[in-house]
Amino acid sequence: MLNVEQAAALPDLLATTAEKLTDRHTDQLAFGWRRRPDRLANPALDFADLAAYDDRMQASLKALVHLGEPARQHFHKLLEEPVRSAELFAVTCYALATQDAELFSAASALTTAIADLMPAKVAALQWAPDSVLRLSAIDSLSMVQQLRLVGLRYRQWPDLDERVLACLRAQQSDAERVSAAFQLIRNLGRTDLAHTGLRHLDDDHPAGRLAAAQTLLMLGSPDHHGPACATLQPLAVSEQDSTATAALRALALHAPAYTEPVLARLAAMPQHRRRYLLALGWMGRADAIPGLMAAMEDRHHGRAAAASLALITGSDPGRDGWSGPKPERRQRPPEPGDQLSAHPDDHELTWPDPPAFAAWWRKHSERFAADQRYFAGRPLTPAWLATVLRTGPLPWRPLAAEHRQRLLHAPLFATDLPADVQRQRLHELN
């Protein structure tokens, strides 16, 4: 039994506990979303790890919903202060989960005033349950944001075909809208709309040409592949890094014969050494393994070479004993170019032990034919690609999804959606 003083103190105690729980679960939801891209790039993690991570985020959201009014008040106060993207994601998720139109409107007003916050709002809509508020929220987005969100997450949209074709036929349609329309076509696996890419192969903007060529290569008829590759080849050696990398990846994954002349040019350009090594992995040719083994000795690009070796062979550096320590810096004064590679995409990659990999390769090389393409250690088949989507390293799953789409002309499996959505779609794989 509580005495009188304890009973009187109970409301304050409960309020304090609710406040602490609200702070805790808000942080777990917000920072969970902010750190999620790092997990998607980590080759030591697979879908089971992602699912456990996302389940913790969903548990925090459910806890906030159960907390009720204290959580609602907390989020309203949060919006009165300068807010970061991760916090806005948490607020928007809560508003959509509780159907709180007032809170959602307040959060949306911030995204209108501060454009940098808009990606957090769109991301929250990927996590949102079906509701009237969610539908109205999607309708309030720009056309580009609607195209991206519907194609990635929801698959259905009133007058979908008419809206997409209107974007592609518009005389003044900008590159961002064209790219989003073609991404939606790929996400949905709409082979019947792939031919629309032909008229955009000479688009004024590189991003428009890239999106059109990717769509034709993935979903178009064989007659479309030549024009698509002819468009991708100059893009792959351009100075625009993100466009060039995307074009090179599309060629290497899906049209290796058209990639050879591009690789010959990149091999002679030291500034593109990293992309060259990655392309060898995307192509998956076993005859590239000796060159990649030699490249592991490069203190600047050894991790990229190791990543390509792992992608071709399916060997895991940690499991198979060829992960190594970070190379020590040389004694000062450093020689020009002596700094270790600081490419952001390499941060999650393992430093290799070249002799240890050579020992592994001697034991397993007989499994690989020089003229055969491999992905994660096996030939490219739909069944194997589905296995990689279910159990493979997280960075390999988007590549498996692309390979599978090209082979089957199926919808593109979205590997960055919330894990509960991915679970449902994994059951649909053949």
What are the tens digits of pLDDT across the range 363-418? 999 999 988 999 999 999 999 999 999 999 999 999 999 999 999 999 999 999 99
> Is residue 12 over pLDDT 90?
no
Q: For residue 413, what is the DSSP state?
A: P
- 219: tokens are 């979903």
> Is residue 344 over pLDDT 80?
no
- Helix, coil or strand: residue 32: helix
What was the pLDDT predicted at 153? 82
- Helix, coil or strand: residue 157: coil
Q: Are 85 and 117 in contact (CB under 8 A)?
A: yes
> Is residue 168 over pLDDT 90?
no
- Helix, coil or strand: residue 71: helix
At 330, the pLDDT band (50, 70, 90 cuts) reads low
- 331: tokens are 């004694």
Q: Are 349 and 300 in contact (CB under 8 A)?
A: no
Q: What type of residue sits at position 428? A: E
- 1: tokens are 């039994």
> Is residue 341 over pLDDT 60?
no
Average pLDDT over residues 11-28: 77
> Is residue 311 over pLDDT 70?
yes
Of residues 5 and 272, more confidently modeled: 272
Q: For residue 238, what is the DSSP state?
A: S
Q: For residue 199, what is the DSSP state?
A: G
What are the tens digits of pLDDT across the range 238-269? 877 899 999 999 999 999 999 999 999 999 98
At 59, the pLDDT band (50, 70, 90 cuts) reads very high
CA dihedral 118, 121, 126, 130 (to 10 degrees): -130
- 371: tokens are 């003229």
> Is residue 46 over pLDDT 90?
yes
Phi, psi angle pair for 84, to nearest 5°: -95, 165
What percentage of the chain exceeds 70 in pLDDT?
A: 91
What was the pLDDT predicted at 68? 92
Query: Model-level pTM?
Result: 0.90
Q: Are 65 and 97 in contact (CB under 8 A)?
A: yes
* Mean pLDDT of the residues in the chain: 90
Average pLDDT over residues 266-278: 92
What was the pLDDT predicted at 291? 96
Could you tell me which of 19, 147, 86, 124 has the C-alpha nearest to residue 417? Answer: 124
Residue with tokens 């590759």: 229
CA dihedral 127, 130, 131, 133 (to 10 degrees): 30
> Is residue 339 over pLDDT 60?
no
What would you report as the CA-atom Rg of the chain, rounded to the nearest whole angstrom?
25
> What DSSP line would sit under 161-194, residue for residue?
HHHHHHHHH-TT--HHHHHHHHHHHHHHT-GGGG
Distances (CA, A) of 161 to 157, 178, 346, 399: 9, 14, 40, 27
Query: At 249, which helix (H) or strand (E)?
Result: helix 241-254
> Is residue 336 over pLDDT 60?
no
At 329, the pLDDT band (50, 70, 90 cuts) reads low
What are the tens digits of pLDDT across the range 130-164? 889 998 999 899 888 988 888 888 777 777 777 78
Q: What type of residue sits at position 127? A: W
Environment class of 154 (CB within 10 Å of its CB; exposed 0-12, middle 13-18, buried 19+): middle
Of residues 252 and 428, more confidently modeled: 252
At 7, the pLDDT band (50, 70, 90 cuts) reads very low
What was the pLDDT predicted at 31? 96
Q: Are 151 and 412 in contact (CB under 8 A)?
A: no
Report d(CA 62, CA 344) in Å as an integer. Answer: 34
